[in-house]
Amino acid sequence: PDKKVKEWKYTTCNYCSTGCAIEIGLSEENRIVTTRGHAGADVNRGKLCIKGLLEHELFESPGRGTKPLLRDKYFEEFKPVSWDQAFDKTAEKIKEIQGKYGRDSFAIVSTGQLLTEEFYTLGKLARGCIGTNNYDGNTTLCMASAVSGYKRSFGADGPPGCYEDFEHTHCLMAFGSNLPEQHPIIYWRLKEALEKRKFPLIVVDPRVTMLAQFADIHLPITPGTDCVLINSMLHVIINEGLQDKDYIAANTQGFDEIEKLLATGEYAPEKAQHVCGISEDKIRTVARLYAKAPAAMSIWTMGINQSTHGSDGVVNINNLNLITGNIGKPGGTSLSITGQCNAMGTREWSSCSGLPGYRLLENENHRQEIADYWGIDPEFFPKARGLAQTDIFPAIETGEIKGLWIVATNPMTSMPDTPRIRKALEKLEWLVVQDVYEDVEMNQYSHCYFPASVWAEKEGCHTNTERRVNLIRNVLPSYADSKPDFWIFNQMAKRFENGQKITFPETPEGAFEEMKHLSKGDNAYGNDRTLNISGMTYDKIEAARGIQWPYREEDDGLKGDPRLYTDGKFQTPTQRANLIPIYFYDNNEKPDEQYPFWLNSGRVVEHFHTRTRTGKIGNCNKFSPTPYMEMNPDAAAELGIEHQTYVRLASRRGDSVVMVQLTHRVPRNMVFIPFHFHDCVNRLTLGLLDPYSRQPAFKQCACRIEKV
Ligand code: SF4
């Protein structure tokens, strides 16, 4: 229908990490009436998925916060207050808690949904003023394993490839990544590339996902055993002399250690097949296909990251690509498909696990550089990373943490074993929830609520999966008395400056200028910093509809580098990539007599995260109204369970009642539930963590089914 659009305004989608460029349609009355994909954008070329197409409905959706709220006890009624009252009280409580129990007793957990300038400002406040070391983001539930794996292999975070690699590759292997539902527009790019030029698509996933249905080879792997499959592929590649000897000799270190591991024969395909569930013939076939392709690439998402072997899985994917010479060349790469719209921005600039610009707390020079620039004493910084989000909640249980500031994330639905999270929250002396929605589940336990502006009610940048920085323009004024997160952090900073030299820019563009300054120059080992955005400006970003980093001051034109490590120089002290042998430890909770099913979880295309936004959008709910459980019809017949009946699903942590959908998408010993819904699958999931990334093994635990 004609929506009578008077004017189109540029922005970027605020859901997934694809980073689609959007135009927002404004009516004569200056109301937002529609959205459309930007036809000139490299990323999405005019297309949007259902979430992007309906994103304009967010502005007037129900449940939005209108006023700051305060109460002394979480079970009392909230009272509306002024912003100054809310800030003053919260600052007073933070200082009181830190004074009584120490600086790290107040924790902050943010999100991959904020704008990059907001991350930078919150990081400056948390690290430079409040001074807590227990500051993390919800990326620990999502991309932390990719970050850790990239750092271990290449010396720094940052996906080395780009979407254009689909157009050059000769073989694509997708690990635990269901693009058509998770990242529909990246999937469309892949499909377009496949239609133009046929190449093998290999999908590793225990479910017959939508992507697996399009695959040439589907490998229905036993959950949690990806490292075994990759080691076995490496065994075949090295035994048959298919490795890229020149690339390994010129650009890597540690190959001997990998050879030693494989020489044990532990991962020979005839042995590995019994662990990973993929036949030895198939292992040999995919190993040969991958190694012999002139260029081959791997993509992965949560199937790899959300595991006790998440970081090892990423390192092993990098091993596979380094050994076959598939890094830094068109169509040859290790591309982590990020989850949230700005998970990359938080990795780059938030200071959650370090300091801005991929700097490390453990590095004295890095601490000094940031302290000098911010005008603070470097001794104010901790010398090692504090607790991750997944360790912060247990620390609340033990009383180590007494206060918490939660920004735009909803651990009451998103964390594993949510009944335990509820109990932990009851113990807090002060909980601040900053969110667009007053009715977000986390607010049930808060003492103070900061109502935040949504998406295009504010301005700043995102970085997408392929390192492309894109712009959100401020299209509308903030709803009621809600405020941009950037303003909220700045106002809180004023309560902590304490006459120090540290200052905070008044505008997002001012913060962007600080980030640009900090992105120039060399990294710790004298190599060119890959994360260089010094040549970008908001106007250039909009004109280019997104620019990939690195993009330096001296770069001409409007294009950054599409790929990293094209010269074979990595961000390590020797400039060589690390080949790291990965041993497999079988430490998952597995199905047994008492709990005979694997419990798997993931996304559906209509919803995002815990539905705080998409749950308010009519058509997203019409298409995906309730949670459900995929169950194999043969397993259901054995238990006498019928399609669309309700069952009780139980694990060692908790239980949930859910409707059954019979489908051969899941194997006989597995059930699958979308994770978006409150008080559903995460009542049952397990909080076992990856030792490097602290990411939980959401996808590997056991459950049983009871008729109700
Ligand atoms: Fe937004 Fe992702 Fe959909 Fe693109 S694919 S419109 S970025 S949710």
Question: Do residue 393 and residue 477 come from a single domain?
Answer: yes
What is the Å distance from ligand 1's center to 428 Cα? 36
From the alpha carbon of 49, which atom of ligand 1 is closest? Answer: 3
Whether 324 and 382 share a structural domain: no
Ligand 1 center to residue 299 CA distance, Å? 18
- pLDDT reading at 391 higher than 70: yes
pLDDT exceeds cutoff 60 at 1: no
The verdict on 97 and 222 lying in the same domain is: no
Whole-angstrom Cα distance, residue 524 to residue 8? Answer: 44
Whichever domain contains 358, its CATH number is 3.40.50.740
Show the tokens assigned to 238.
């090295």
The pLDDT, as a whole number, for residue 299 is 98
Q: Which residues 6+ apart lie within 8 Å of 326 measured at CB?
A: 244, 295, 296, 297, 320, 332, 333, 334
Q: Which atom of ligand 1 is nearest to the CA of 22?
A: 6
Provide mean pLDDT across the span 440-469.
Answer: 96
357 and 321 share a domain?
Answer: no
CA 605 / ligand 1 centre spacing (Å):
10
pLDDT at 69: 98
Task: Encode pLDDT of 292-349 as tens digits.
Answer: 999 999 999 999 999 999 999 999 999 999 999 999 999 999 999 998 888 888 888 8
Residue nearest to atom 2 of ligand 1 (CA): 16
Domain that holds residue 609: 597-707
* Ligand 1, atom nearest to 53 Cα: 6
Q: Tell me what percent of the chain is helix, strand and coil, each rounded to the nearest 5.
A: 35, 20, 45
Which atom from ligand 1 is nearest to the alpha carbon of 341? Answer: 7
| Residue 659 is assigned to a structural domain of this protein | yes
Q: Which residues line ligand 1 (CB under 6 A)?
A: 13, 15-16, 18-20, 44, 48-49, 51-52, 183-185
- Looking at the DSSP bridge assignments, the partners of residue 598 are 670, 702
Q: How far is the CA of 171 from the centre of ligand 1 (A)?
A: 25
Angle between helices 116-125 and 485-494 (to 10 degrees): 20
Task: Tell me which of 337, 366, 381 is where a domain ends.
Answer: 337
Which atom of ligand 1 is closest in space to residue 18's alpha carbon? 7
- The mean pLDDT of 628-657, rounded to a whole number, is 96
Q: DSSP readout, 144-199? A: HHHHHHHHHHHSS-S----GGGGGT-SEEEEES--HHHHSHHHHHHHHHHHHHS--
Identify whether residues 650 and 637 lie together within a single domain: yes
What pLDDT sits at residue 540? 96
Measured in Å, residue 41 CA sits from the centre of ligand 1 at 13
Q: Which atom of ligand 1 is nearest to the CA of 464?
A: 7
Sheet arrangement for strand 547-548? 460-463, 468-472, 547-548
Cα 54 to middle of ligand 1, angstroms:
11
Residue among 185, 301, 340, 611 to mutate when testing ligand 1 (max atoms within 8 A of CB)? 185
**How many angstroms does the Cα of residue 703 sit away from the middle of ligand 1?**
33
Categorize the per-residue pLDDT at 693 as very low, low, confident or very high, splitting at 50, 70 and 90. Answer: very high
Q: Coil, strand, or helix at residue 551? A: coil
Pocket test for ligand 1, best of 11, 15, 177, 178 (most atoms within 8 A of CB): 15
- Tell me if 25 is assigned to some domain: no
Alpha carbon of 45 to those of 185, 188, 339, 559: distances in Å?
A: 9, 10, 21, 17
Testing ligand 1's pocket by substitution, the residue of 17, 183, 340, 608 carrying the most ligand atoms inside 8 A of its CB is 183
Answer yes or no: do 252 and 294 share one domain. Answer: yes
What's the average model confidence in pLDDT over 185-203? Answer: 96
Distance 39 CA to ligand 1 centre (A): 14
Asked if residue 168 and residue 287 are part of one domain, the reply reads yes
* Centre of ligand 1 from the C-alpha of residue 104, in Å: 37
Whether residue 354 is found in the same domain as residue 257: no
pLDDT in tens, 222-246: 999 999 999 999 999 999 999 999 9
Nearest residue to 19 (alpha-carbon basis) of 55, 42, 43, 38: 43
In a domain, 24, yes or no: no
Are 411 and 474 in the same domain?
yes
Tell me the sheet residues that pair with 578: 253
Among 337, 352, 382, the domain-final residue is 337
Percent of the chain with pLDDT over 90: 86
Q: Ligand 1 pocket: which of 12, 18, 186 to mutate (most atoms <8 Å of CB)?
A: 18
Query: Among residues 683, 631, 703, which one has the least CA distance to residue 661?
Result: 631
> 3-class DSSP state for residue 378?
helix
**CA of 590 relative to ligand 1 center, distance in Å:** 34
Average of per-residue pLDDT across 461-470: 96
Cα dihedral 141, 146, 147, 151, rounded to 10, equals 150
* Ligand 1 pocket test, candidate residues 23, 43, 48, 179, most atoms within 8 A of CB: 48
Note whether residue 44 is domain-resident.
Answer: no
Mean pLDDT of the chain: 94
Q: Around Cβ 642, how many Cβ atoms within 10 Å?
A: 13
The answer to whether residues 252 and 190 belong to one domain is: yes
How far is Cα 703 from Cα 708, in angstroms, rounded to an integer?
16
Which of 12, 14, 17, 20 to mutate to test ligand 1, by most ligand atoms within 8 A of the CB atom?
20
Weakest mean pLDDT among 28-42, 84-98, 518-532 = 518-532
Note whether residue 563 is domain-resident: no
State the pTM of this model. Answer: 0.96
Indicate the range of 132-136, 213-217, 519-523 predicted with least confidence.
Answer: 519-523
pLDDT at 83 over 60: yes
Whether 228 and 312 share a structural domain:
yes
16 lies in a domain? no
CA 244 distance to own-chain centroid? 32
Q: Name the strands in the sheet holding 403-407, side by side, starting at the edge strand that comes first in the sequence.
A: 79-80, 69-70, 448-451, 430-435, 403-407, 106-110, 135-137
CA of 344 to the centre of ligand 1 (A): 15
Which of 322, 337, 352 is at the close of a domain? 337
346 plus 491 within the same structural domain? yes
What residue type is 156 in one-letter code?
Answer: A
Domain-located, residue 602: yes
CATH value at residue 684: 2.40.40.20
Which protein residue has the closest C-alpha to ligand 1 atom 4? 20
CATH number, domain containing residue 164? 3.40.228.10
Say if 59 falls within a structural domain: no
* pLDDT higher than threshold 60 for residue 3: yes
Count of domains for the chain: 3
Tell me the chain's radius of gyration from C-alpha atoms: 24
Centre of ligand 1 from the C-alpha of residue 184, in Å? 7
Task: Name the 3-class secondary structure at 483.
Answer: strand
**3-state DSSP assignment of residue 512:** helix
